[in-house]
Amino acid sequence: MTPASADTRRPSPAPDWSLYLVTDPDLGGGRDAVRPLVSAAVSGGVSVVQLRDKHLDPAGFTARAAELAAALRPTGVPLFLNDRVDIAAELGLHLHIGQDDMDYVGARATLPDTSMIGLSVDRHEQIDELQRLVGLGVRPPDVLGLGPVHLTDTKTNTGRALGVTGPGSVSELAAHALTLGIPSVAIGGVGTGNATALAHTPVAGLCVVSAIMAAGSTSAATTAARQLLSLFTTSKEAS
How far lies 163's CA from each of 30, 174, 189, in Å? 31, 12, 10
Query: 175 near 42, Cβ under 8 Å?
Result: no
Residues with Cβ < 8 Å from 193, sequence gap 6 or more?
none
φ/ψ of 204, rounded to 5, equals: -85, -15
Residue 115: phi and psi, rounded to 5, are -95, 130
Whether residue 236 is annotated as binding a ligand: the answer is no
8 is in an annotated binding site: no
Tell me if 196 is assigned to a ligand binding site.
no
User: Residue 32 annotated as binding?
Assistant: no
- 154: annotated binding-site residue? yes
Q: Tell whether residue 57 is among the known ligand binding residues.
A: no
Is 209 known as a binding-site position? yes
- Residue 216 and residue 208: Cα distance in Å, rounded? 15
Dihedral angle over CA of 78, 144, 42, 215, nearest 10: 140
Q: What are phi and psi of 211, to 5 degrees?
A: -60, -25
Please state, in angstroms and rounded to a whole number, the distance separating the CA atoms of residues 18 and 225.
11
The answer to whether 93 is annotated as binding is: no
Q: Is 52 annotated as a binding residue?
A: yes
CA distance linking residue 72 with residue 201, whole number of Å: 29
Find out whether 228 is annotated in a ligand binding site. Answer: no
Which residues, other chains included, contact 58 with Cβ-Cβ below 8 Å and sequence gap of 6+?
84, 86, 87
Annotated binding site: 50-54, 82-83, 101, 120, 152-155, 189, 209-210
Annotated binding site for Mg(2+): 83, 101
